[in-house]
């Protein structure tokens, strides 16, 4: 089958849910090495492409993978995300001059570009592109893991989002929106964004617009489930835990409604940290399991979400995600029948063969090319 794609994840090297504190007390080199090891596990789990939806570590590890220095999936990276003041990307408990990458002397993997007004948004988008972004990540709403806002809060005006979309288009790139609240989802879609992450509170208007614009939603159910189940022990702040517990059932129900209406869905985990003793990364197929068990997709539909639809999110539609002449030779051989039960994909030993760009990068099957 085609290599799998995680269309929304963050490679950070972080081990704590209290990510700002950890980032400020951990040497940057340690974070990069942890990130490199994580990429090996993702690749061995059958994921030949990931979309790193914001973060400088994933941006630079992209280049290390591309040049063959480290093993890992192909990385399509946003680099520095774009946030308004008091946005989801703004670390609310720090002085503002410590938050924006252009003014801060601190380091944390999620450092954003803070901007307000269409002109500032254009400049922020251009800065992200200057730093090597494959696409622009924006925060169109508040979120679960930010301190003082909520998922329902719309962020950025339509005019601000349009300015960012235009700058991305001029550079032959696209915009990927964190959008959880109903109003922010609609604003992003109306402004020309067709890649919508999370969509917790998507309503009938958002569903209708997503269908009209042929947009794709990345629900990222996995991260909310893991926050609820493991967040307290991992040091996730109380404000994030409370919101995660509050929204999970609502999230599932609204994604189920969007799926039943015919909205295209892609897989993304939104993993952004990994507590010691756990291995979240490498369990990226959890999103397929949740789409089947919670949303009601068939296993075959979940596989399309993790391949063809996720390839669109990565900007690689027509190049990866299907086994067709002329496509990049990314493919995996699986022991079992993921088209009947996607839980098969959660066991790394079931992924017997991984071929990335025509080269064998994992082989448990045997033969002369066994590595």
Residue 181: pLDDT band (50, 70, 90) is very high
Token duo for residue 40: 């090996």
In angstroms, the CA 354 to CA 180 distance is: 34
Mean pLDDT for the chain?
Answer: 96
Please give the pLDDT value at position 358.
Answer: 98
Of these residues, 44, 90, 134, 137, which one is catalytic?
137
Of these residues, 6, 90, 134, 270, which one is catalytic?
270
Give mean pLDDT, residues 239-262.
96
Q: Exposed, middle or buried, 124 (CB in 10 Å: 0-12/13-18/19+)? A: buried
Sheet holding 47-52, edge to edge: 4-9, 47-52, 74-77
Is residue 359 annotated as a catalytic residue, yes or no?
Answer: no
Please give the pLDDT value at position 369.
Answer: 54
Please give the pLDDT value at position 65.
Answer: 98
Please give the pLDDT value at position 337.
Answer: 96
Pairing assessment for the beta strands 74-77 and 47-52 based on DSSP bridges: parallel
pLDDT at 342 over 90: yes
Q: Exposed, middle or buried, 118 (CB in 10 Å: 0-12/13-18/19+)? A: middle
In angstroms, the CA 285 to CA 131 distance is: 31
pLDDT at 368 over 80: no
Please give the pLDDT value at position 20.
Answer: 83
Is residue 335 annotated as a catalytic residue, yes or no?
Answer: no
Please give the pLDDT value at position 265.
Answer: 98
Please give the pLDDT value at position 363.
Answer: 97
| Residues of the chain above pLDDT 70, percent | 99
Give mean pLDDT, residues 51-72.
98
CATH 3.20.20.140 fits 4-363, yes or no: yes
pLDDT tens by residue, 132-171 = 999 999 999 999 999 999 999 999 999 999 999 999 999 9
Please give the pLDDT value at position 24.
Answer: 87
Give mean pLDDT, residues 41-56.
98
pLDDT tens by residue, 71-129 = 999 999 999 999 999 999 999 999 999 999 999 988 888 899 999 999 999 999 999 99
Please give the pLDDT value at position 105.
Answer: 87
pLDDT at 10 over 80: yes
């Amino acid at each position: 089958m085609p290599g799998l794609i995680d269309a929304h994840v963050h490679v950070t090297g972080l081990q704590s849910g209290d990510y700002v504190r950890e980032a400020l007390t951990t040497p940057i080199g340690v974070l990069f090495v942890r990130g490199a090891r994580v990429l090996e596990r993702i690749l061995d789990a059958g994921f030949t492409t990931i979309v790193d939806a914001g973060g400088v570590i994933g941006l630079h590890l992209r280049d290390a993978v591309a040049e063959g220095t480290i093993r890992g999936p192909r990385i399509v990276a946003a680099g520095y995300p774009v946030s308004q003041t008091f946005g989801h990307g703004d670390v609310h408990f720090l002085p503002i001059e410590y938050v924006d990458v252009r003014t801060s002397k601190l380091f944390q993997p999620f450092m954003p570009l803070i901007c307000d007004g269409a002109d500032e948004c254009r400049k922020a988008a251009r800065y992200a592109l200057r730093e090597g972004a494959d696409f622009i990540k924006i925060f169109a709403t508040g979120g679960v893991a930010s301190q003082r806002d909520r998922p329902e809060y719309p962020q950025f005006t339509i005019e601000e989002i349009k300015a960012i979309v235009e700058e991305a288009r001029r550079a032959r790139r696209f915009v990927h929106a964190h959008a959880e609240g109903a109003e922010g989802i609609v604003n992003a879609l109306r402004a020309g964004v067709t890649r919508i992450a999370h969509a917790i509170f998507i309503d009938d208007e958002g569903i209708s617009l997503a269908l009209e614009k042929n947009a794709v939603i990345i629900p990222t159910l996995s991260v909310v489930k893991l926050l609820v189940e493991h967040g307290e022990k991992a040091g996730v702040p109380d404000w994030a835990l409370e919101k995660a517990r509050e929204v999970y059932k609502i999230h599932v129900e609204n994604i189920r409604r969007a799926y039943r209406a015919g909205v295209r869905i892609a897989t993304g985990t939104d993993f952004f940290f990994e507590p010691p003793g756990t291995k979240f990364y490498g369990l990226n197929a959890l999103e397929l399991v949740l789409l089947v068990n919670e949303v009601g997709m068939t296993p075959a539909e979940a596989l399309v979400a993790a391949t063809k639809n996720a390839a669109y999110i990565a900007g690689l539609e027509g190049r990866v995600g299907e086994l067709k002449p002329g496509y990049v030779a990314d493919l995996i051989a699986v022991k079992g029948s993921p088209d009947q039960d996607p839980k098969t994909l959660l066991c790394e030993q079931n992924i017997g063969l991984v071929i990335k760009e025509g080269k064998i990068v994992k082989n448990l099957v045997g033969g002369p090319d066994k590595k």
